[in-house]
Amino acid sequence: MSTGPGSRVGRGAPTSLQTKVLSVGWAVAFLVLVGGGILFILSLGDRNDLAAATDTFVEEQRVADRIQRAVLRQIASTSLLPTGDVGRTRSELRESSDEVYGQIRRYLFLDLSPAQRLQLEEMAEEHQRLEVAGARTTDLIERGLLAEAEASRDAVALHAFRLLDKMETFLQMRENDLDTLRDRQGATVQALLAGMAVVALLFVLGTLLLVWVLNRRVGRPFQELALASERIAGGDLDVRLPPGADLESRIVTAGFNRMAESLRRTTSELEDRNRELTETLATLHDAQAELVQSEKLSAVGRMTAGLAHELNNPLASVLGYGQLMADHLDGRPTVDAHELKPFIDLLLDEAVRAQHLIRNFLRFSRKSEATLAPVPLRDPLEVATTLRGYSFQQAGLELRVEEVPDVSVRADPEMLQSVVLNLVNNAFDALSPAGKGALTIRGEKAGRSVRLLFEDDGPGLDRPDRVFDPFFTTKSVGEGTGLGLTVVHRLVSLFGGTVRAENRPEGGARFMLTLPVSAPRVEPEGPEVEKAEAADPPGEGMTALDEAGPGGSLGPRILVVEDEAPLRDLQERLLDRLNAEVWTATNVDEARVVLAEKEVDIVLSDVKMPGESGMALYRWVVESRPELAESFLFVTGDVSDPELVALAERRPELFIHKPFDIADYLARVSELMGSSANGRGE
């Protein structure tokens, strides 16, 4: 199909397609109407003529019948003369003659040919002879001349039969005229049929001409238009239609070409805008992620003072009781273990307390992608009260958590903590200027959702309808970005929930979170590890392998990669309790040397070390010693490396997080020992 814009240009002004179609249609209709009218008139005239002729002939037959009956009565009357009443017979002959005369006169008013008129005159003359013969016969009978009367009566019969013959000849002549009329009508009918055939032919030719015009002027341009539309739908926006030969066709093709050009320009602009929007959305997504992280880091900065105090308290206890225990041991060759037990218990309790603080703090500050999963609703509240409780106390405020349903909600753990901490911080900022007040957090079930309420008795909200708008803040310059509650709204929407702000009737503000309830996460089942004995303090508890003693079966061969000497020594001491053969390395290079020279069953490695990291060692083990990949365990406190965080979320069984619990450590290593022993076929 030609697509050149200058092809098929018509000469002169184009004629309207409507005009052409109407002209052809009117011409065909006129010819059909004229031909049909002529045929109708001809057929109607012939039909009327034939009907009139037929009626006339029928009437003539009736007249002939009357004449025949009258003549027969005359013959009958004359045959009865010798015996009948002469007067009555004369009267009957006169009436019959009048009847015949009257009926013959009726023929005179017909449209007759000269021959027919001549025949009619002969009939009249013959009738006169009949009358004369009848009158003579009656006269002869009255005079008694019966012989002459008999001869005259024979003459009456002769004239009567001659009259009937002449009348039969006349009727035959009239019937011949009727046959001629019928023949003429037959010819007319044939002419009509021929005319109808001509009209039908004209109609067919006109219809074919109209179809040809419509196909050429309508069908073909529309087919080209359909093909061009399909090409445009297929993405070819450069297709154009040639100008048509008719006015309407030119208007349509010009409009289509303008539309195609406009569509091409619009598509190009949309593609450019789509690329810009894609880039903008990517930038916006990164900006939103940075915004969430920024708000979290902002909250982290605001919690630093309280966290430092919370950490200093257990550290002060650890230092104090450590010094007391050192003083207690100073200069004493022997020490009763029961005397040291209180010191050790307090040291362990305070260390666990510091461990929980650090874990909550790092878990909150860690940057991660949203992973929606069942999250216990009470967990983020525990983190918030742990991290912000001291700040509330120092400011003379109260942070209360009342009854909260023990349910799980569909959310991301870190993001849900961010939501809760943002709302807690918002209440703290509202209450702290007055130096008094309380924030109460409570929850309630609401069908398949749970409603979490944050209610304070502060000054309330100036514009509850705008608190979630970006950069809307009532704080002084430098005290707020106006993005904290915006982040709350975005994250709650991401969870499939809602958040609403309002002022309480009794004073203060209320934030209401509605989150979808989710079934609690089912932890994968694994082999249970007996921890009771391993949880005993050092020196008292022994594992099953310990009980085997030096004479028992040979323990596992373990490589410990740790750059911190105290932690390296601690792990050696713990692994001795498992009857393990232990090699140590301070970096990845030393670990590779050990793995090249020794038969190792288990690898316990730190992540952050001088030189290469523990992740590099793990990748090397997967490639070079794949049999150790399932017996590799990270012992780390790093939660910031993205690759490490992703691996921890995908394979949590590969990690022990510092600071670790001795029982957990021994249980995890014992589990690996069992797997390693099965792999060696022991």
Answer with the one of 457, 492, 518 that is the final residue of a domain: 518
Distance CA 479, CA 475 (A): 6
501 lies in the same domain as 360: yes
228 within some domain: no
Q: CA 582 to CA 558: how far, in whole Å? A: 5
Do 559 and 503 belong to one domain? no
Backbone angles phi, psi at 525, to 5 degrees: -75, 145
pLDDT above 50 for 531: no
DSSP-H helix ranges across 330-403:
337-365, 378-394
Residues 6 or more apart whose CB falls under 8 angstroms from that of 490 comprise 288, 292
Query: For the chain, how far is it from start to end, CA to CA, in angstroms?
Result: 81
Burial of 429 (0-12, 13-18, 19+ CB in 10 A): middle
- Cα distance between residue 59 and residue 403, in whole Å: 124
Spatial contact of 243 and 10, defined as CB atoms under 8 Å apart: yes
For residues 605 and 591, the answer to whether their CB atoms sit within 8 Å is: yes
Are 495 and 413 a contacting pair, CB within 8 Å? Answer: no
pLDDT digit string (tens) for 103-144? 777 776 677 778 877 887 887 888 878 778 777 777 777 777
Instruction: Report whether pLDDT(657) > 70.
Output: yes
**Is pLDDT larger for residue 47 or for residue 485?**
485
- pTM: predicted TM-score of the whole model, two decimal places: 0.36
Task: Report yes or no on 295 lying in a domain.
Answer: no
* 604-640 per-position pLDDT tens digit: 999 888 889 889 999 999 999 998 988 999 988 765 6
Among 176, 47, 46, 204, residue whose Cα is nearest residue 119: 176
- Of 394, 367, 379, give the one whose Cα is nearest residue 309: 394
Q: Does 481 share its domain with 381?
A: yes
Q: Is residue 230 part of a domain?
A: no
Helices 247-329, 413-431: inter-axial angle, 10-degree rounding = 80
- Which residues have C-beta within 8 Å of that of residue 282, sequence separation ≥ 6? none
Residue environment code for 392-421, b if the CB has 16+ CB neighbours within 10 A, otherwise e? beebebbbebeebbebbbbbbbbbbbbbbb
Residue 336 is assigned to a structural domain of this protein = yes
Domain identity same for 367 and 504:
yes
Q: Does a structural domain hold residue 523? A: no
Round the average pLDDT of the chain to a whole number and report it: 75
520 alpha-carbon distance from chain centroid: 34
pLDDT tens-digit readout, 79-114? 655 555 667 777 777 777 777 777 777 776 677 778
Look up residue 15 and give its DSSP letter: B
Is residue 170 included in any domain, yes or no? yes
**Number of domains forming the structure of the chain:** 3
CATH of the domain at 385: 3.30.565.10
Average pLDDT over residues 556-583: 88
Domain shared by 659 and 583, yes or no: yes
List, for residues 444-460, the tens digit of each pLDDT value.
998 889 999 999 999 98
The total number of residues written for the chain in this structure: 682
Distances (CA, A) of 352 to 388, 565, 662: 19, 21, 11
Residues 311 and 419 in one domain: yes
CA distance 267 to 150: 127
Q: Are 26 and 95 contained in the same domain?
A: yes
The pair phi, psi for residue 441, each rounded to 5°, is -115, 125
Using CA atoms, how far residue 78 sits from 64, 73, 96, 102, 160, in Å, is 21, 9, 12, 21, 11
Q: Distance of alpha carbon 420 from its chain centroid, rounded? A: 39
For residue 629, the domain's CATH number is 3.40.50.2300
CATH number at residue 148: 1.20.120.1730
Q: pLDDT at residue 527 above 70? A: no
Side-chain half-sphere CA neighbours of 122 within 13 A: 15
DSSP state of 609: -
Which residue range(s) make up the domain with 412? Answer: 304-518
Between residues 312 and 165, the one the model is more confident about: 165
Residues 445 and 558 in one domain: no
Contact 351, 318 (CB under 8 A): yes
Using CA atoms, how far apart are residues 679 and 676, in angstroms rounded to an integer? Answer: 5
Structure tokens at 26: 């009117």
Within-domain flag for 505: yes
Indicate whether 347 and 473 sit together in one domain: yes
SS3 145: coil
Sign of CA dihedral 103, 104, 108, 110: positive
| Domain termination site, one of 190, 214, 238 | 214
* Token digits of residue 290: 């940075």
For 468-523, what is each residue's pLDDT tens digit? 876 556 554 445 445 678 888 888 988 889 999 999 999 999 999 999 998 765 54
Position 254 in a domain: no
Measured from the Cβ of residue 615, the count of other Cβ atoms closer than 10 Å reads 19
| H/E element, 561 | strand 557-561
Q: Does 480 share its domain with 577?
A: no
Residues 45, 139 share a domain: yes
One domain, residues 358 and 405:
yes
- β 632-636/602-605 pair status: parallel
Q: Which of 214, 234, 263 is the last residue of a domain?
A: 214
- Report pLDDT digits (tens) over 187-210: 777 777 777 788 778 777 877 777
